[in-house]
Amino acid sequence: MVWSIAVFAAFQLGLAFAIEYRLPELRDPNYAIKADRLQRRWTEVRRNAEHAKLVVILGSSRTAFGVKADELEEPLSRDLGGPVVAYNMGVFAAGPVTELVHLKRLIADGIRPDLLLIEVLPPLLAGQHAVPSESNWLPAEKLSFRELALLERHGFPAGDLRNAWLEAWPVPWYSHRFAIISRIMPAAIPWNVRQDWSHGTDDWGWARSLHDHLTPEGRSRLIERTHREYAHYLENFRLGGPTADALREILDVCRHERIPAALLLMPEGTHFRSWYPPAAWREITRYLDELSSKYHTPIINAREWIADEEFSDSHHLLVSGAIQFTRRLGHDGVLPLLKKAHRKPPLVATVKFCE
């Protein structure tokens, strides 16, 4: 009995330390898979071209589906006269707090982009909700111990988060069971608990739309579902709270680490744009203008770049829409900023909104 308990404890603690220090892909698989691919691609290119440029895009599923980063690399490399690596770090259900966590992880791993695009998902800046919605998608077991204080500072329930982490850490074979099975035998568990969707992204981090062919009725159903998902953010919208603070901290980190950054408003269809109360959008614009002015950070406002038929649900792009958007993003947004960053002094916005 004693030996059985000792072996059980050894297996649990061994995996717990391995996840904390050696196997991050079992802690937060969908982030870690992308981060590992980014690290490998960047290391390979830098080995042959010391002065290569790196562009990283942080964001939500809008970014994951919408930025086909391979469409950025070739024209940017040609126009800048040297290699450019572009990588899509968009993760489903991410918002400013998740983006902050991912940025700090990338910096800790030695990834320092020459240009960081930070997606702003405007409804998530609503301050009437004390707890960010991201707390539903970034549970304690996906965090390292050092990250707990960061999330508690940005509205995650402090006692609940820490208690959940302490309960999960000693029994990783149970708390990370879906990540483990997703890695070794994904077909053995239902799709809704699998944690390996990042394996399905391409070498540039882009996720292909789940809805390549939509009937008008199918698109209408998806738009209705999207409206239900976002209505509680936009009704009685009041900007502020932990997510707005997290976006500000992202820019603080970029300034401290001397990482040139730009805020990116992803395309939205006419249906989605119509759901913003006029007063809410004025408040959002004013807040982003203030950030742009304070941090000398350009804003790429791509909300109206893409026609409605290129969306599945008025805010996630289909494949053709992603290609159109990415090409314009490269030419009108990324290229001018990389050229400006190449010249000293550091990147400064000459216009607050790049339409």
CA-based nearest residue to 147, from 162, 157, 160: 162
- Provide the pLDDT confidence category of residue 241 given band limits of 50, 70 and 90: very high
Residue 325 lies in a domain: yes
CATH number of the domain bearing residue 97 = 3.40.50.1110
Better-scored residue on pLDDT, 8 or 279: 279
Residue 8 lies in a domain: no
Residue 183 lies in a domain: no
The answer to whether residues 243 and 36 touch, using CB atoms and an 8 Å cutoff, is no
Residue 29 lies in a domain: yes
| Bridge partner residues of 56 (DSSP) | 87, 116
Residue 185 lies in a domain: no
- The helix or strand, by DSSP H or E, that contains position 355, with its residue range, turns out to be none
Q: How many domains does the chain have?
A: 1
**What's the CA gap between 209 and 227, in Å, rounded?**
19
Q: Mean pLDDT over residues 268-288, rounded?
A: 97
Percentage of the chain with pLDDT > 90? 69
DSSP per position, 332-345? IIIHHHHHHHHSSS
Residue 249 lies in a domain: yes
Residue 196 lies in a domain: no
* Residue numbers of the domain that contains 301: 15-176+203-354
With both helix axes pointing from N to C terminus, report the angle between 241-257 and 96-108 in degrees, rounded to the nearest 10. 30
Is the confidence at residue 8, as pLDDT, over 60? yes
Is the confidence at residue 193, as pLDDT, over 50? yes
Averaged confidence pLDDT in the chain: 91
Is the confidence at residue 251, as pLDDT, over 90? yes
Q: Mean pLDDT over residues 204-216, rounded?
A: 89
Residue 124 lies in a domain: yes
Supply the Cα-derived Rg of the chain in whole angstroms.
21
The whole-angstrom distance between residue 272's C-alpha and the CA centroid of its chain comes to: 20
